[in-house]
Amino acid sequence: MGGPREYELYEGTRIIYKYGNNWKNYDLHVRFFNEDNDGVSVIFGYKDGNDFYRVISVADGTNGGPFIALQKRENDAYITLDRKNISYEPGKEQTLDIKTKDGTIKVYLNGKLVLEGQGNVSGTFGLGSYASQGLCFREIKKALIKNSWAKSLV
């Protein structure tokens, strides 16, 4: 963290599920709790460290929040596909659902549609934290739309 591009990149710790590099048309459901007010992210369509999508939310006003954004990582930059000046609520259990189908991406925070975008999503997924202490991902589910099956990963 730190540096001249900190509030442009919001890089931190991320963990990537290593299987599913060719997944397309899938839904992700994540239930999380963050005691802190810094960044929470869900990564999807992950091919490598320079080619993926993410939803990131920061509640802390001193770190550029509150916001939630849908972004595409291309090489050394994030392209923002949609952004709202809202965020998750610190200290409260939340759900984040990402639905990808035929080039359309929809993001729901606590059941409410908050972000939409377009993108050719293909790849695995992961989770991220930016400067957060006390962040806990409690449930992660992925469902392939075409095959109509769901798998809990935690």
- Do the domain assignments include residue 94? yes
pLDDT of res. 2: 62
pLDDT of res. 144: 75
pLDDT of res. 145: 66
- Do the domain assignments include residue 4? no
Expressed as residue numbers, the domain containing 82 is: 13-152
- Which CATH number characterizes residue 124's domain? 2.60.120.560
Residues 77-116: tens digit of each pLDDT: 999 999 999 999 999 999 999 999 999 999 999 999 999 9
Which residues have C-beta within 8 Å of that of residue 121, sequence separation ≥ 6?
A: 24, 44, 45, 53, 100, 103, 105
Residue length of the chain: 154
- Do the domain assignments include residue 5? no
Residues 14-45: tens digit of each pLDDT: 999 988 888 889 999 999 999 999 999 999 99
pLDDT of res. 81: 98
Q: What are phi and psi of 6, to 5 degrees?
A: -55, -50
pLDDT of res. 20: 81
- Do the domain assignments include residue 86? yes
- Do the domain assignments include residue 2? no
- Do the domain assignments include residue 8? no
Considering its fold, how many domains does the chain have in total? 1
**For every residue of 17-80, which 3-state class applies, written as one string?**
CCCCCCCCCEEEEEEEEECCCCEEEEEEEEEECCEEEEEEEECCHHHCCCEEEEEEEECCEEEE
- Do the domain assignments include residue 53? yes
Q: Is the pTM of this model over 0.95?
A: no
Confidence label for 146 from pLDDT (cuts 50, 70 and 90): low
pLDDT of res. 9: 76
